[in-house]
Amino acid sequence: MDDAPPLNMTLQWVSPHALLVTLGAPDSVPASLAAGALIERLFQCRPQWLVDAYGGFGKVMVMSRDPDSAAVDAWVRSVDLAAGDPSEATPTIDIPTCYDPAVAPDIESVAERLGVGASDVAAWHSAQPVTVLAMGFAPGFGYLGPIDARLRLPRLATPKARVPAGSVAIAEAQTVIYPVETPGGWHLIGRTAVQLMRYTPEPEPRFRVGQRVRFVPITLRQWQAA
């Protein structure tokens, strides 16, 4: 989080056992990194008052069994969020992605709207790592961003009834990967074979808030062989 503005942490008890921690703007990467770091630290230390913690987009909801709100506030404020930055503790996750129109049904229409070629869309999308800003919508579904400003388009006016699992999509300032087949209103510009959920006795998503993700272009043949 070098050269980032100082975090402005605010705490708000929304119920006797639910503390909302706000760390910055919803689209702020430093705030999302800090949210991930706070969640990571809470589960590492597991203070006896902790019930659960979750969040994203620069916010964390901390569920507490302890009625001593001042003690919980003090604990949260004492966390060194920079030291616990999960993007430093965990390597960047590479996502092999095929941008061929055969599996990326919207890449040509996106390119046409932007006045460029499909190869430009793929190059811009994969040029820089993005950050997991939040998790939600479906198990393993991460909202990643921010994407290159040149790629930003509104969501589809009419969502698709079926989006295949592994579809890589963009809308507004974010990109996502659909972990399962589902309806969706994002522009489908790629496809990956990476599994985003490990369905073990304790299901575990591949992504977590604050993690870095890099899209690595592959050919159609490589995708088919994956």
Could you tell me the domains of the chain?
10-88 (3.30.1360.40), 93-225 (2.40.100.10)
Question: To which H or E segment does residue 75 belong?
Answer: helix 69-78
pLDDT of residue 204: 66
Q: 193 Cβ partners below 8 Å, 6+ apart?
A: 96, 166, 223, 226
Dump pLDDT digits (tens) for 109-150.
999 999 999 999 999 999 999 998 888 777 788 899 999 999
Query: Residue 47: what residue type?
Result: P
pLDDT of residue 82: 63
Residues 10 and 224: their CA atoms lie apart, in Å, by 48
pLDDT of residue 158: 93
How far, rounded to the nearest angstrom, does the alpha carbon of residue 17 sit from its chain's CA centroid?
Answer: 27
Residues 39 and 30: their CA atoms lie apart, in Å, by 14
Cα–Cα distances (Å) from 56 to 2, 10, 27, 219, in that order, read: 20, 15, 10, 33
> In the chain, which stretches have pLDDT less than 70?
1-7, 82-90, 199-204
pLDDT of residue 88: 52
First vs last C-alpha separation in the chain: 35
pLDDT of residue 93: 92
pLDDT of residue 8: 79
pLDDT of residue 203: 57
